[in-house]
Amino acid sequence: MNKLKSLLILSVIITVLSACGNADETDTSNSEVASTDEVWEEVQEAGEIVVGTAGTLFPASFYDGEEGNQNHLTGYDVEVAREIGDRLDLEVNFEIMNFDAMLSAVDTGRVDVILAGPREGSEDSFGFSEPVKYSYSTMVVRSDDHSGIETLEDLEGKDAGGAATTVYSDIARKFNAEVVTYGNAPNEAYLRDVHNGRTDLVINDYYLQRLGISEFPDLDIELHPDLKFHPTTNNVVMDKEADVFMENVNEAINDMKEDGTLSELSGEFFHGDDVSQEPEEDIIEIEGIE
């Protein structure tokens, strides 16, 4: 993996957003059911799906070449979105934004969807597709003493690097850690701060943390060997009323699972791991965190 990719690794931000939509009836090209889905109508009329994404998150969404050029934007989430667009006969265009701005971007109609996971209460307001990725959370700690953490309760009083609105920061706060927030920074900043003692840990997605650590062998950090918690999924997220749009997206995702496309994309971006399959590990559920 080259240095460019190393600098682009960024902690995953699990957030949700939706596209604006109201009810109206029309026929669709991908369903025999009459549409009451204004979002789907608008997407078809535009001939494109606009996807909100960070563009700095290896291996989910990053530039493998000229930054700002969508031809060089790639990653698991990006290629999954493009494949869904192909199967729905729609173009896919990406809007690059800070993760903390994504929800408001959908509220204003700036984007149609993102790939993200459910948060507490979010399923009451937003629609979530079939999962395209399964994972769980873990934490990066210092190698010599695990940053003094052997149980989740040991997070009390620790400094956890993260973003303000992520589920990972919610977990840190639940166990009374202090969250040290970052902007749209590369993962090296998060990891180096654990190494040098500015922070004690970073909670994030298992697969991305593992890839991130492998790029910085000089740092005295590791994944905590015993703590695996908070199972997660990554889904296509859209307006809750976008029933026809969701039906068509789910059909595309199920086809991608059956024909092996999701497994192939996963292997390409996650070093051979198949994130489209549920993990078999015994994972701690955290009460009150969704």
75-106 per-position pLDDT tens digit: 999 999 999 999 999 999 999 987 777 777 77
Q: Which domain holds residue 48?
A: 3-133+233-269
* Assigned domain for 245 exists: yes
Structural domain total, the chain? 2
DSSP secondary-structure letter at 177? P
* Assigned domain for 182 exists: yes
Q: Indicate if 121 and 47 belong to the same structural domain.
A: yes
- Give me the CATH number covering residue 159: 3.40.190.10
- The per-residue pLDDT for 21 is 37
- The per-residue pLDDT for 36 is 62
Q: Indicate if 25 and 46 belong to the same structural domain.
A: yes
Q: Indicate if 185 and 242 belong to the same structural domain.
A: no
For residue 247, name the pLDDT band (cuts at 50, 70, 90): very high
Q: Is the pLDDT of residue 1 over 80?
A: no
Q: Give how far Cα 20 sits from Cα of 106, 127, 165, 256, Å.
A: 7, 12, 22, 27
SS3 of 7-69: the string is HHCCCCCCCCCCCCCCCCCECCCCCCCCECCHHHHHHHHHCEEEEEECCEECCCEEECCCCCC
| Residue scoring higher pLDDT (147 or 119) | 147
Q: Is the pLDDT of residue 250 over 60?
A: yes
Q: Indicate if 96 and 41 belong to the same structural domain.
A: yes
Q: What is the pLDDT of residues 253-277, one digit of tens each?
A: 999 999 999 999 999 999 999 999 9
